[in-house]
Every structure is written in structure tokens, then in C-alpha cells.
Amino acid sequence: MRPPLGWVNDPNGLVFHDGYYHVFFQHNPHSPRHTTTHWGHFRSRDLIHWEMLPTALSPDPDGEDADGVWSGNAVSHRGELRTFYSAKHPGRWHQPVAVASSADGLAFAKHTGLLVPEPPDGVTMFRDPYVWRDGYRWRMLVGAALADGRGAAVQYESAGPDDLDNWTYRGIFLARAPQPLPGGADTEEGWECAQYADFGDRRGVLLVSAWDPQAGAQVTAAWPGRKADGAFAADTPQRLDHGPDFYAPALLHAPDGRILMWAWLWEARDEPYVGAPSAWSDEAGWAGMLSLPRELTLATDGTVRQTPASEVDKLRGAHRIHASGSGPAALGAISPTADVTVRLEADGGLRLTTSADGREHLDIRRDADTGDVVADRGGASLDPRTKGGSWRLPAPSRTAPAELRIVLDRSVAEIFAADGQTLTLRFYPIGGDDWQLHATGAAPYAVDAWDLIPLEVTDLRQHPEGAAL
């Protein structure tokens, strides 16, 4: 999802309230540049039919959030939808926690003052509150960096089960020096968008978006572990997504018990770093989008797993390809929005060609030495401004077949492996809509492909009263 124009980054305030899934997001409605951040707003009853609603929160030029209403989350409590967000101000290095609330989920009133005005001692970065119900009380995490070089999530506790106004600092939930992650990344010195997924029996997963003080946004890490003595005892960190264009995931605890997750898919155009101005984005008039909704689970071995939300299956349309065999083969045409399942053995591969002459292509193949799945976008666009590179999904076995589901949406590929690992990347084909799938290598394969039906989105930004019909 994305609005037709403007800048999009972190999903915010994901909550089920009054019969709707609400998805807020960082948004500049006036420009495809990362400035004057607002909260955009979608909602849906079924994750298939969506309403695009008026901007929920905007900066107040004379207020605490004069430089932007930045990331946070939302909770539904006693008929009220309450949002917690980072208030950015040009005269302040940190981003204190501010609050706004709504009775109808459409119009929001900001509360006077700041909920958490100052960071704790020893903190050098402070932003992105996440509030959740933890037994008797509410808890809040805030992403942080510590003066000693550790990334951290610091925690607060409310005064009681119905109190969302009074918060007490309870120390560090988790802090770690940078630790390595697959693909050459690490957990960095600062943590943004800290989110906690509670799987019961004190088991949970802390999600953090790794922030480098010099290079900015990097990757997302998942720390499985257990709550203990008011803190979090974490196991070895895992890379949440193995691709280059996935960041700032946010959680929604659905009424059926599922933990859903959306993330920001940034651009891979001509910007020199994440969030920098882009001539290409200026031409297009938009930048950034949200991922598919994903279901997050925690395996008994501590592995964090992701699958497309089950509702995505309902978007499958015409069944374009059903093929199996060995060796190179042309498999047939698919839509630029497609859902593909593939079984690759040994050194098998799949090539998506997006130009009639075949020069423009995205390759997804097995590495014969390691068994890893390699996604290579080096030839995926004939536009010289696009970023290239290749990324790997680590293989649980060098010899076992790789079972993949690949969801394509023109410039997006979200790849899901059967073991719950994912790889998300952006690519920018300009060769037209004549997309073809080919089997590559000599190994056996099995492929199915379906067209995807577009999401149904009703634009109510100018007429919000229509949302009540």
C-alpha cells in the first residue's frame, strides 16, 4: 500500500479498533522527500478492501512536533484509539513521547504537553515509542542508543490497567553492543522502532531497526528470548529480512490471535543514502511503500518465522503457469503483479525477464556450493540509475530442495522461504508488461504462478464522512 503521491516510510500505529485494522504510516503528503512528516492513514475490515483516510496527525508549527510527527504506535482501550508518537523539534536532539487520541478512529486530538519529556541519563538517541498491554499494566519501549556504544530499548511502566497517562522509567529492557548478522550487517549502535511480540509463557521477540550513527538506517534484527526480572533475556539475534530494502517493521496483534507485521520498503533508485533526496523520486512524485502484511511466529527452536498473511491468498486470480521438469525451459507469461511458488533443487534457478529481448531480468537461483538462494538484480532494470547487487537467503540444507513463494508487485519482490526466512528487494523494470518466467540450470523444478488481483482502495481523503456508510 501507498498513497498515489508523496513520501512514505515507517508503518505506525498498527491496531485493531472498532472493527477495523488501522495502518498509519510516516508520510509527507506534499512531496516525495523526507521532510515535514505526518501520519497517513489506511483502514480495512478484512485486509483486502481498504479505505485511504485523511491525514491523522500533522506537525504543529508552534508545537512540540514542529519538525514532524515521527514514529510510534497505537492502542485501543475502552473505546478510544490512542496514538503515541515521537515529537521532533528543531531545537531538541531527542524525540520525546507525545500523545493524541480519537473516539471515532478518524479525527485525532493532541494532548497538551509531553508524555515522556526527557530521555534517561546515558542515552544519546531516543525515539519511537511502542506501547503494549503486559498482564496487569501497560508497558512502553523506546528505541535508544547509549553513551557506551550499545543499542538499547529502554522501558516504562504505567501506573495501572486503565492508566495510559502516568509512566515510570523502569530501566533497560535490552541493550547490546553491535553483534554480527548474516549478510555482513550487524545490530548497530542505535535501535529504532523497537517492537515487542509477546508469544506467551514469557516467550517473546524484540524487533529493532539497526541505526548507524554515520550511515543511518541499515537492517532489522530480531532478538528472541524471555522476559525475566523486569528485563529481557535475549538469545542470538537473527536478521529479520535478508534483502536490502526492508526496514522499520511494526506489529499488530490481531483479534484472532495472530501477530501481523508490516514494514517500510524504501527505494533503490538514485538516492545516495536512505532518506536522501532523489531526482528520480522527484520525477515520479512518490517514494516508499508498505510491505505485504506478514504473520510472525516463533518456532520452538527460537527461530522467528514469517509468511504472507493468509488474506493474501484471496488476491490470487488467474492461474497462469503450472510446470515441472528439468533443465532450462520457457515457462510462460505472468502479470507484473503475480504470486509465484517454486521448488528449486541443486543448482536450479528461475529467471524473470521483463523486456521482450530478455536483456532485463531478475534472477533467483540456488548456489550449488552452499545451497543458498541468491536473488540477483544486477540486470533487473535497463535504467542505469537503479541500484544493483545480489543477496542471499541462507539455506538450512545444501542439498534439500528450496521451497519459495515470490510475491511480485512491479518494482517489489518479497521472497518467502518454507523455513520462514524472507528476502525483500526493489527493482525497476522499464521493458514493458511482457513478463516471462524461465527455468535455468539443469536441476529439477516445479513452478506455479497466479495473477494477483489489485487491492481495492477507496480514497476518502477529501470526504471522510463516506467512511461511515
* CB of 356 closer than 8 Å to CB of 431: yes
Average pLDDT, the chain: 96
CA-based end-to-end distance of the chain: 23
User: pLDDT over 70 for what percent of the chain?
Assistant: 99
Read out DSSP for 284-335? Answer: HTEE-EE---EEEEE-TTS-EEEEE-GGGGGGEEEEEEEEEEESSEEEEEE-
pLDDT tops 80 at residue 166: yes
Q: Is 103 helix (H, G, I), strand (E, B) or coil?
A: coil
pLDDT of residue 229: 84
Residue-wise pLDDT for 45-69, tens only, equals 999 999 999 999 999 999 999 999 9
Average pLDDT for residues 318-326, to the nearest whole number? Answer: 98
**Distances in Å between the alpha carbon of 241 and those of 126, 294, 304, 351?**
24, 12, 10, 22
pLDDT tops 50 at residue 469: no
| DSSP letter (8 states) at residue 186 | B
- Helix H or strand E encompassing 247: strand 247-253
* CB of 149 closer than 8 Å to CB of 190: no
pLDDT band at 308 (very low <50, low <70, confident <90, very high): very high
pLDDT tops 80 at residue 466: no
pLDDT tops 90 at residue 467: no
- pTM, two decimals, is 0.97
Average pLDDT for residues 274-296, to the nearest whole number? Answer: 98
* CB of 440 closer than 8 Å to CB of 350: yes
pLDDT band at 468 (very low <50, low <70, confident <90, very high): very low
* CB of 188 closer than 8 Å to CB of 210: yes
pLDDT of residue 247: 98
Cα distance between residue 296 and residue 263, in whole Å: 12
pLDDT band at 465 (very low <50, low <70, confident <90, very high): low
pLDDT tops 90 at residue 76: yes
The sign one gets for the Cα dihedral 458, 463, 468, 469 is negative
Residue-wise pLDDT for 325-357, tens only, equals 999 999 999 999 999 999 999 989 999 999 999
pLDDT tops 90 at residue 136: no
